[in-house]
Amino acid sequence: MTRGALAAIKGAMTGTEGATQRPEARRSWTEILFTRKMLTCIFLGFSSGMPLYVLISLVPAWLRSNHVDLATIGLFALIGLPYTWKFVWSPLMDRFKLPFLGRRRGWAILTQLGLLLSIGVLGQFNPSTSLQTIVAIVFIVALFGASQDIVVDAYRRELLADDELGTGTSIFVNAYRISGLVPGSVALILADYQPWTVVFWVTALFMLVGIVTTLTIKEVSDDALAPHTLRQAVIDPFVEFFSRDGVIAGLAILAFLFLYKLGDNMATALATPFYIDMGYSLSEIGSVAKVAGLWASIAGGVLGGILMLKLSINRALWLFGFVQLFTILPFVWLSQAGHTLTGLFLVVSAEYLGVGLGAIGLTAFMARETSKAFTATQFALFTSFIAIPRTVANASTGFIVEAVGWTQFFIVCVIVAIPGMLLLLKVAPWTEKKPDEVEEIEGRERLEEAENSSCR
């Protein structure tokens, strides 16, 4: 490994909680919450969520209102693949620095301006006659949106101290969700009164929130830690990750990312078909189940952020994980209870409260495990990796339900959630390293540094 890579790894280790930083007294919640950093998380979260909700809410409504068939609209989901494969080009955003605003802010302003223009121009085309052009522009929106996620996630990790990760992540994720009200609600209401050209430009102008934020915040990326060659940008993030605590520890973290929400993802993958099979009408599903899921997931995110003002990330993962696991069990009862709107509301609310809590804890954990030397690449890889369980769940749950029925299926979901909890013993133990253990690690690293220097 190159000298630059070694230096990057040394510096990056200081960004991992409990690794080389000497524990400090825990700050009060007011010192963490009421800061410019948290305000930055609100506005960047809003900006980051906007393009995704344009793709999943506004574009399908626009296409359907112009009589595009459902099969074609369904295929538009494939255009969102950049969100899954963003780790492929994330090393370029770690390696190359644009000649303005700094490493993170430069890329952020470029993607945000691209989003403003590409979202706005969509409404200039008629889906009935220009579908191929629309496909190309929608892909560009997805590409810019995924790229904005890469750089914003990296900026947030570099901005927040370890004890701010939980709260900052909660604020960011909830702002991300709230942004969905613009393309998913405001824009659709506006479409009843204005042409689609106006609707898309009004929606696009909300990207000014991110643009103004990017222009006013300070750059936080450390050029001394950044990779200086493509090899360092592409290869060294993986070398650093697996050499940090060893290959076994690295594989354990990846297994944990895969398994922590697998049971949760399976339980919600076929939620709407389950409600229909239980005899609920579409109106009841829309007015009860969907509303319960929305408010509870947001409440879970808010509650998670509040709790993490007092809890470490490790302990939050334990507590939130148990909530995730045990809130699957009421679905076993619901599958046998028959038609009960009260029961439906309570069970769905509990489940999505667990969904919200688990998402906050897992995202904070990913941020903590990301090296500050390779923030964009590692965080993009982690977020892409946790998307795999959703794909597995969506692909496999139908076969399981047909084989065993709904009641046994939810029991299977509970069982599947257990391995992820057991991995917490390895990757996030309840009792974290003590000061003397930290000193021992520091001493070992100084010894390794001296040995490496003597070999140069």
- Residue 63: predicted pLDDT: 82
Residue 275 pLDDT grade (very low, low, confident, very high; cuts 50, 70, 90): confident
The DSSP secondary structure of 176-234, one letter per residue, reads HHHTTHIIIIIHHHHHTTS-HHHHHHHHHHTTHHHHHHHHHSPP---TTTS-SSHHHHH
Query: Same domain for 307 and 341?
Result: yes
Query: Same domain for 169 and 305?
Result: no
Query: Same domain for 28 and 141?
Result: yes
Query: Same domain for 214 and 335?
Result: no
Higher pLDDT, 426 or 65: 426
Task: State the residue for tokens 């944990």.
Answer: 256
Q: How many domains does the chain have?
A: 2
Residue 241, both tokens = 């990750």
Higher pLDDT, 253 or 7: 253
Residue 70 pLDDT grade (very low, low, confident, very high; cuts 50, 70, 90): low
Query: Same domain for 224 and 323?
Result: no
The segment with the largest mean pLDDT, out of 2-6, 64-68, 221-225, is 64-68
Residue 327 pLDDT grade (very low, low, confident, very high; cuts 50, 70, 90): very high
The segment with the largest mean pLDDT, out of 67-81, 314-328, 366-380, is 314-328
> Above 80 in pLDDT, residue 38?
yes
- Residue 8: predicted pLDDT: 45
Q: Which of 17-26, 132-141, 343-352, 413-422 has the lowest mean pLDDT?
A: 17-26
**AA identity, residue 158:** E
- Residue 25: predicted pLDDT: 57
356 CB-near residues (< 8 Å, 6+ apart): 296, 297, 298, 299, 300, 301, 302, 303, 304
Instruction: Give me the sign of the Cα torsion angle 104, 106, 108, 111.
Output: negative
> Above 80 in pLDDT, residue 439?
no
- Residue 20: predicted pLDDT: 40
Query: Same domain for 218 and 249?
Result: no
Last residue of a domain, one of 209, 231, 253: 231
> Above 90 in pLDDT, residue 376?
no
Look at residue 254 and tell me if it is in a domain: yes
> Above 70 in pLDDT, residue 231?
yes
Query: Same domain for 129 and 247?
Result: no
Look at residue 444 and tell me if it is in a domain: no
> Above 80 in pLDDT, residue 326?
yes
Query: Same domain for 217 and 77?
Result: yes
**AA identity, residue 81:** L
% of the chain surpassing 90 pLDDT: 21
Query: Same domain for 215 and 249?
Result: no
Last residue of a domain, one of 231, 261, 277: 231
Look at residue 450 and tell me if it is in a domain: no
User: For 420, how many CA atoms within 13 A lie in the half-sphere containing its CB?
Assistant: 28
Task: State the residue for tokens 């990312």.
Answer: 257
Look at residue 164 and tell me if it is in a domain: yes
> Above 50 in pLDDT, residue 336?
yes
Rounded to a whole number of angstroms, the distance between the first and last alpha carbons of the chain is: 11
CB 240 within 8 A of CB 299: no
In this structure, which long-range contacts are made by residues 92-97, counting pairs with CB atoms below 8 Å and at least 24 apart in sequence?
Answer: 92/233, 93/147, 93/150, 93/151, 93/154, 93/376, 94/154, 94/226, 94/227, 94/233, 94/237, 94/374, 94/375, 94/376, 94/377, 95/226, 95/227, 95/228, 95/229, 95/230, 95/232, 95/233, 97/223, 97/226
Q: Which of 35-49, 218-232, 338-352 has the lowest mean pLDDT?
A: 218-232
Q: Is the pTM of this model over 0.95?
A: no
Query: Same domain for 242 and 209?
Result: no
Look at residue 14 and tell me if it is in a domain: no
> Above 90 in pLDDT, residue 117?
yes
Residue 435 pLDDT grade (very low, low, confident, very high; cuts 50, 70, 90): very low
Residue 355, domain extent: 238-438
